[in-house]
Copies of this chain bind each other. A is one copy, B any other.
Amino acid sequence: MSAAVEKYVLHWGEMGTRWGTNRTVSQIQAILYLSPHPLRADEIVDLLSVARSNVSTSIRELQSYGLVQMTHTLGDRRDYFESPHDVWELFRVIIEQRKQRELNPTLAMLKDCAAEVDAEDETDPITKERIKNMLAFFESTNDWYEQISKIPTGTLTKLMALGAKITKLIKP
């Protein structure tokens, strides 16, 4: 592993903990993304110096996200793993994961709370209002995401390139 690759992998591992997964999972994703060829689990063990069992379960987790595919070559029954190399695909998966971890549970909680304060007289009306405002915000964010996530990558990159110019289309 070159110094640059090592730096990348270590950083990615650190960031992973802020993105909802653990260090090993994101380090494996990093090394698979960077590797010029698919890797075997035991190669990952050597490269990252982690336990075999850890690699096994981490790969399983990545597979469940669609961030790792298994490949084989003729005459070799060992499993090789690789990551998608399209950054947009990676990005979509990460966003989707975070939505499920962060947005969905909060949305559910807010719906609960809103229903609860409606049927009750204990909570201050101002507080009730605040809860409902927050719920409305999360609902519209959720709706927005549902729509945006269906837009093909090519269109999205164009939209992003437009940036703030997009407001000129809407303002008048």
Q: Given A105-B11, A137-B88, does the pair A4, B167 have CB atoms closer than 8 Å?
A: no
Other than A7-B116, A147-B164, give 12 A-B pairs with Cβ distance below 8 A: A2-B120, A4-B113, A4-B123, A5-B113, A7-B112, A18-B102, A34-B130, A36-B127, A140-B157, A144-B160, A159-B166, A169-B169
Q: What copy number does this chain have within its complex?
A: 2
* Assembly CA distance A50 to B113 (angstroms): 24
Residue of B nearest to A121 (CB): B2
Minimum CB–CB distance from A121 to chain B (whole Å) comes to 9
- Asked whether, in the complex, the Cβ of A160 is within 8 Å of the Cβ of B140, the reply is yes
Report the interface size class on chain A. 35 or more
Task: Tell me, yes or no, whether A74 is within 8 Å of chain B by CB.
Answer: no
